[in-house]
Each structure stands twice: as structure tokens, then as C-alpha cells.
Chains A and B, each alone.
Chain A
Amino acid sequence: MIGFIIFVTFIGIITIAFSAIIQKKLADSIILFMGVGIGSVVLFFIFKAPDVALTEAVIGAGISSLIFLMALKHLGEKK
């Protein structure tokens, strides 16, 4: 069972990451990037690395997305 969960989570993360990259709207892409972070948290937790999971939760999914959102606010959608 655990192997299947890993498999599915990986597929989910890859799909989310790819759509985050090719997304036209930056706001959508940042929200999807947050999803990559959350998926990684799940995987780290499955891999018995609770410390890394907690760190990824607060930094990878939390603060990084905040940084991107602030960048979006200052840089704007349009190039």
C-alpha cells in the first residue's frame, strides 16, 4: 500500500510542477508551486523523515510561496 501511495504522490507532484511551470498566469502558477511543497511534505513524512517534513512544510510550502507572492505583487503579471 505504502509503495502505491508513493507512486501516486510522485505522479501528482510532477503533474502539479509541470502545470506550475507552463501556466500563463503567475498567480495560478504560485498556488500550484505551493502544491509541490505540500506533496513533498507528504513524501518526506512517508519516508520517515519528520524533521525534514516539518521544515519543508514551514519553508518550502509556507515562506517560499510568500516570497513568490510578494515578488508577484511588486513585479506584476505582465512583463
Chain B
Amino acid sequence: MFEFFNQPEIIKIVVIIGSMTLFFVGLFGLLTQKHLIKIFMSVAIMESGLFLLFIGLIYKQNALAPILTDNQQGFINMNDPVPQAMILTAIVIGMAVLALGVSFAIEYHKLTGKTDIDEITSLRN
């Protein structure tokens, strides 16, 4: 049974279905939840689903982490470093936007006492 999961294709399918389900969980939260914290949390979960998809599909089972250690001869047989660099950037940017959004929400709550996304409608006419 363990061998079945070790096949590269199966790993890829597991990664695709798993990360897309995580994305779906975030999307579901975004569509149904009302509290601002939950909304931001859903966005964060969607993002992490995407990151897992990317890193998981780049993963080669018998390749190494892209860092040269003492008993290696050169940069051969390694995982692709570019997605890792991109995801590193994307994680930091996502966190910055999240923190900014939370600070908006805190200030808005202080002024009006509302935290429900359905109540934030004073501008609509």
C-alpha cells in the first residue's frame, strides 16, 4: 500500500487534489463567512493552497534541496529553486496585506463597532 503512494504520478495527483481542496475550503469560507477575521483567514488558506500546489508539483522525489552541502559535487540533481524564491516572496507579501487588512478592520471596528461583512454597506445606494 505504501508503494502505491510512492509513485511520482500518484504524488502529483495527491498534491493537485489536496491543494485544490484546500483552495476550495478557503473559497467556501470566503463565500459563506461573515466575520472579517474569518474572511481574512479564508484568503490566507486559499493562498497556502496555491503555494502547496506549486511546491508540490515542482517536487522531484529523488532530487535534493537546492543547497550545496559538503558531500556534493555541484548543483546537479536538485529541486528547482525559482518556485521556492517566488513562494518566499508571495508568503511575505500575503502576510503584509493581511496585517494591513486587519489594521483597517480594527480601526473600523473602533469607529463603528461593526465586524460583519454584511453590515459594512453604508456606501451602497
Contact = CB atoms under 8 A, between A and B. Distances in A.
Answer yes or no: A and B touching, Cβ < 8 Å: yes
Interface of A: 1-4, 6-7, 10-11, 13-14, 17-18, 20-21, 26, 29-30, 33, 36-37, 40, 43-44, 47-52, 55-56, 59-60, 63-64, 67-68, 70-72, 74-76, 79
A55 B92 contact: yes
A4 B2 CA distance: 6
A7 B1 CA distance: 12
A67 B110 CA distance: 17
Contacts of B65: 48-50
A49 B37 contact: no
Nearest to A26: B37
B36 A75 contact: yes
Q: Chain B's interface: helix, strand, loop or mixed, by majority?
A: helix
B57 to A, nearest CB: 9
Interface of B: 1-2, 4-7, 10-11, 14-15, 18-19, 21-22, 25-26, 28-29, 33-38, 40-42, 44-45, 48, 51-52, 55-56, 58-59, 61, 63-67, 79, 83-84, 87-88, 91-92, 95, 98-99, 102, 105-106, 109-110, 114-116, 119
B51 A52 contact: yes
A48 B38 CA distance: 31
Given A40-B51, A70-B102, A21 B41 contact: yes
A47 B56 contact: yes
16 contacts: A1-B6, A3-B4, A3-B14, A7-B5, A10-B21, A13-B18, A13-B22, A17-B22, A21-B42, A49-B79, A49-B83, A49-B87, A52-B87, A59-B95, A76-B109, A79-B115
